[in-house]
Amino acid sequence: MTETISFKLNGRSISLSTDGERMLLWVLRTDLGLTGTKYGCGKAQCGACTVIVDGKAVRSCVVPVGYVKGKDVITIEGLAKNGKLHPIQEAFVKHDALQCGFCTPGTILNAYSLLLKNPRPSRAEIIQGMDDNLCRCGAHVRIIRAIESAAEEMRRR
Partner 1 sequence: MKEDEYIELDFSDITTDPNLTRREFLRLIGGGIIIFFSIGDGSTVEGRRRGRGYPEDFNAYLRIGADGRVTCFTGKIEMGQGVVTSLAQMLADEIDVSLQSVDMVMGDTTLCPWDMGTFGSMTTRFFGPALRAAGAEARAVLIELAAEFLQTPAERLATENGAVFDKKNKAKQVSYAQLAKGKTIARRAKGKPALKKPSEFKIVGRDVLRRDALEKVTGAAKFAGDIRLPDMLYAKILRPPAHGAKMRSVDTSAVEDVDGARLIRDGDLIAVLHKSPDGAEKALEKIKAEFDVPQATVDDETIFEHLLSSAQRRNVVASGGNIESGEKLADIRIEQTYLDGYVAHAPMETHTALAKVDGNKATVWASTQTPFSLKDQVAEALGFAQQDVRVITPFVGGGFGGKTSGRQAIEAARLAKLASKPVQVAWSREEEFFYDTFRPAAVVKIRSGVTKAGKIVFWDYGVYSAGERGSAQFYDIPHHITASFGGWMGGSGSVHPFATGPWRAPANNTNTFARESQIDIMASKAAMDPVEFRLKNLRDERMISALKAAAEEFGWTRSKAPSGRGLGVACGTDSGTCVALIAEVAVDKASGHVQVKRVVCGQEMGLVINPEGARIQMEGCITMGLGYALSEDIHFEGGKIVDVNFDTYELPRFSWVPKIETVLVEAQGTSPQGGGEPAIICMGAVIANAIFDATGARLLQLPMNPKRTKQALTSGTHDVQNLAHA
Q: Contact positions toward partner 1, by CB under 8 A? A: 22-23, 26, 29-31, 33-43, 45-46, 48, 75-77, 79-80, 85, 89, 92-94, 96, 98-105, 108, 126-128, 130-144
- Output the smallest distance, CB 67 to partner 1, in A: 15
Rg of the chain in Å (alpha carbons): 15
Residue 76 or 151 with smaller CB distance to partner 1: 76
- Output the smallest distance, CB 154 to partner 1, in A: 15
Residue 75 or 149 with smaller CB distance to partner 1: 75
Residue 30 or 122 with smaller CB distance to partner 1: 30
Alpha-helix runs per DSSP H in the chain: 24-26, 87-94, 104-117, 123-130, 140-156
Residue 5 or 105 with smaller CB distance to partner 1: 105
